Amino acid sequence: MPWIDSNKKSLFRNALSLYLIKGINMLFPIILIPLIVKKLGLNYYGVYAITISVTNLLVTVLDFGFSYSGTNMIAKIKDDSKKISEYFSIVFFSQLYMLVFAFAILLLLSLQKNFQGYGTYFILCVPMLVGYVLNPGWLFQGFEVSHINAVINLLFRALTIIILYLFLNKHNGLNFLFLVYSIGFFGWGLTGILVAVKKFKIKLVYLPFSKALPTIKKTSNIFFGTFISSIYLMGIPMILNFFNFNINLIASYAIAERIIRGICSFISPLSLALLPYFVSGPGVEKKLLIKRYLLIALKISLPFLFVSALFFFGLPWVEKLIQAFKSSFSLNGPTIGNIRIQSFIIFFSVFNSIIGITSFVTLGYEVAFRRIMIIALFLSAIIFMLLIQTANQYVGSITALLTEIALSIFFTAFLGFKFFRSGRYEQ
């Protein structure tokens, strides 16, 4: 890929910055595992996991696929300041309108029987959602300067962790946790947008909903795909709560999920880092581009089979890693079982992060991506309902793993089919 090789330095810097952002965001919940469990108790961690599950799904709604489509667009228009300001305004106000919808969802959930007592936690998470709307991470990615956003993120995350480790206790409990968590996220978002507006000389222009609607419709295929994936990736604690699962079993699943997804997060930023280069590269045959994606996905994901095996057989090592943050911490039986089941999600998740949405967006297969994700959602629902009685404490982990495997098969089969029917790739 000569057109990538000529920009290796910029690619490496952008990928490293995205790694830092993603790594911090995923390591933060992992660090919180022993802190919450030891200071507040396993049941409190279950409540935390359910609340974060809800807010993470709402973050996906707020993103609405702009982390991919926005990066894509900025990579194309980054030399036209007027178009940048126009597109920035479109994305900003589109996400702002989505924020109103997110508030309505939180209100409706707080009235549900299964979420009684969660209203205060939802309110305290509002600044986090506002912070996500404010932070233009997609803009930094499109300009290939994600290191700026990474530094801002590192600053606020580090400050959040320090405050929580010093002051979190049973007296202030989860209210204090969510308040500090949200303020840190809000600070990141506010600082990010201020830096972006000044650095790229962006002029924010008010945009009514009617003007933002065409862009929202255009990126809806990406949104539906990413939202559906978020349901089985991050929404299982919320789903288990709807089915009245024991709060400690939900906590055991969530601890395993945080650890496994934390590992996955260290590779997924590479797909976003590559996106501007596939977009800005010269026109090539679509057949060749599909082949490149398949080879990249295989080369990067295959070594992670070894990582999956390490987690499957090396759980004592995982405990020691967590104990580095909190001594005398140990994993209970259900948590160990969930980690072992989810361990091979690492390999399939890494493969899907590259062969899935990144390649489908670049190749113009957004509609196909949405359809595949809808099929996967129905499949995961069937698996969940079939196993809910027989594999009670592991139903979430088994569902997530089998869904990831199915997605790998669907993505590869679709691209393989297109490989034999493709023509020239038009940018």
DSSP codes, 173-209: HHHHHHHHHHHHHHHHHHHHHHHHHHHTT-------H
The pLDDT assigned to 274 comes to 52
State the total domains in the chain: 1
Give the global pTM: 0.77
Q: How confident is the model at residue 318 (pLDDT cuts 50, 70, 90)?
A: low
- Assess contact for 156 and 103: CB atoms under 8 A: no
Residue 325 pLDDT > 70 = no
Q: Is residue 426 part of a domain?
A: no
The predicted model gives 382-389 an average pLDDT of 87
Q: Is residue 34 part of a domain?
A: yes
The predicted model gives 321-348 an average pLDDT of 72
Q: Is residue 235 part of a domain?
A: yes
The predicted model gives 156-175 an average pLDDT of 86
Q: Which residues are CB-neighbours of 130 under 8 A, at least 6 positions away?
A: 99, 186, 189
Q: Among the listed ranges 43-57, 92-106, 214-228, 284-298, which one has the minimum average pLDDT value?
A: 214-228
Q: Is residue 12 part of a domain?
A: yes
Q: Is residue 415 part of a domain?
A: yes
Q: Is residue 425 part of a domain?
A: no
Higher pLDDT, 227 or 404: 404
Query: Cα separations (Å) of 329 from 35, 51, 231?
Result: 9, 23, 30
Q: Is residue 166 part of a domain?
A: yes
Q: How confident is the model at residue 289 (pLDDT cuts 50, 70, 90)?
A: confident
The HSE-up count of residue 309 (CA atoms within 13 Å, CB side) is 5
Q: Is residue 43 part of a domain?
A: yes
Spatial separation of the C-alpha atoms in residues 363 and 374, rounded to whole Å: 19
Residue 231 pLDDT > 80 = no
- Domain range holding 320? 2-419
pLDDT in tens, 115-150: 888 889 999 999 999 999 998 888 887 787 777 887
